[in-house]
């Protein structure tokens, strides 16, 4: 009988302990990779969001905190920011971003695109101060009613936690919008030596497949909404400000 020798040198094989540790590391890495798209932009408050908060330093260090839901399965409309600047000489300049002719290479265009989307999200999905106060009043009424009816302490605590979280989320969203919109306005006024600026938002809808097959271009102006003004500043208002 011919004995077949094992071609793998036993000296180069991993022990059971090493294989177990490597398997755990690979499993942890895959978990970190998956948490990015699962927790961003809309995740589960009871699972993916808390887990993502724990591994956020690893996400940032390894550039793994990507959320791909923005691009599929239904990316939805895109948004442009139009600016109208008045210079000291009285001249009016108008432009928009992102702008494929101005913002290149593609990565730079993408950065301006993400900026316009972020500004629109905070503007469109943050309620007015009056609407927010009404929402707080309604939650406070629920808390008072629960106390009067002798509801379980856990239920009351959940309502109170919801009340405070609403306030924190609203303050954070409004602060982010102010930082973004003022920073953009200050940058544009400085770049174009302007004295005042108006900022407008445009929404570009996605054509239907039948329209595209009929030859309609994606940039067809009929899919562009009317501009909505979202902010207005003078240079004097923004001078001396620093983003905190």
The per-residue pLDDT for 103 is: 86
Q: Do 92 and 191 sit in the same domain of this protein?
A: yes
User: Residue 41 falls within a domain, yes or no?
Assistant: yes
Q: Do 111 and 50 sit in the same domain of this protein?
A: no
User: Residue 166 falls within a domain, yes or no?
Assistant: no
* Residues 186-200 pLDDT 10s: 999 999 999 999 999
Average pLDDT, the chain: 85
pLDDT interval class at 178 (50, 70, 90): very high
Q: Do 184 and 216 sit in the same domain of this protein?
A: yes
The per-residue pLDDT for 244 is: 44
* Residues 208-230 pLDDT 10s: 888 888 888 888 888 999 889 99
Q: Do 119 and 195 sit in the same domain of this protein?
A: yes
Q: Do 27 and 122 sit in the same domain of this protein?
A: no
Q: Do 62 and 94 sit in the same domain of this protein?
A: no
Which span out of 22-26, 69-73, 212-216 was modeled with the highest average pLDDT? Answer: 22-26
User: Residue 150 falls within a domain, yes or no?
Assistant: no
User: Residue 133 falls within a domain, yes or no?
Assistant: no
Range of the domain at 33: 10-70
Cα 187 from Cα 178, distance rounded (Å): 14
Q: Report the domain count for the chain.
A: 2
Cross-strand pairs, 57: none
Q: Do 91 and 179 sit in the same domain of this protein?
A: yes
Q: Do 122 and 180 sit in the same domain of this protein?
A: yes
pLDDT interval class at 88 (50, 70, 90): confident
Q: Do 22 and 98 sit in the same domain of this protein?
A: no
* Residues 39-51 pLDDT 10s: 766 667 788 778 7
Tokens representing 49 are 């969001």
Exposed, middle or buried: residue 23 (CB in 10 Å: 0-12, 13-18, 19+)? exposed
CB 112 within 8 Å of CB 102: no
The per-residue pLDDT for 20 is: 93
Sheet containing 228-234: which strands, arranged edge to edge?
Answer: 92-97, 78-87, 194-204, 228-234
Q: Do 59 and 180 sit in the same domain of this protein?
A: no
Q: Do 56 and 108 sit in the same domain of this protein?
A: no
> Whole-angstrom distance between the N-terminal and C-terminal Cα of the chain?
80
How many residues in total does the chain contain? 244
Tokens representing 111 are 């950065």
Q: How far is residue 74 CA from its own chain's centroid?
A: 16
User: Residue 152 falls within a domain, yes or no?
Assistant: no
User: Residue 149 falls within a domain, yes or no?
Assistant: no
Ordered alpha helix ranges (H), the chain = 16-39, 48-54, 56-62, 106-125, 129-148, 153-192, 209-213, 235-238
Query: Does the predicted TM-score (pTM) go above 0.75?
Result: no
């Amino acid at each position: 009988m011919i004995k077949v020798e094992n071609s793998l040198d036993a000296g180069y094989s991993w022990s059971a302990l090493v294989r177990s540790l490597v398997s755990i590391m690979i499993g942890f890495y895959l978990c970190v990779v998956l948490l990015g798209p699962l927790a961003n932009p809309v995740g589960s408050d009871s699972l993916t969001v808390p887990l993502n908060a724990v591994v956020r330093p690893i996400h940032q260090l390894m550039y793994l905190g990507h959320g791909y839901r923005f691009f599929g399965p239904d990316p939805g409309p895109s948004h442009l920011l139009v600016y109208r600047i008045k210079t000291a000489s009285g001249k009016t300049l108008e432009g928009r971003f992102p702008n494929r002719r101005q913002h290149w290479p593609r990565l730079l265009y993408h950065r301006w695109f993400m900026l316009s989307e972020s500004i629109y999200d905070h503007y469109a999905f943050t309620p007015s101060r009056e609407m927010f106060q009404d929402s707080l009043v309604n939650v406070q009424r629920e808390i008072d009613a629960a106390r009067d009816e002798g509801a379980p302490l856990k239920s009351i605590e959940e309502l109170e936690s919801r009340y405070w979280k609403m306030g924190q989320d609203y303050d954070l969203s409004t602060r982010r919008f102010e930082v973004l919109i003022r920073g953009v306005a200050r940058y544009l006024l400085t770049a174009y030596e302007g004295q005042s600026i108006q900022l407008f938002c445009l929404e570009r809808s996605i054509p239907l497949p039948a329209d595209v097959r009929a030859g309609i271009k994606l940039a067809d102006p009929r899919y562009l909404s009317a501009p909505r003004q979202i902010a207005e500043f003078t240079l004097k208002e923004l001078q001396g400000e620093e983003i905190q």
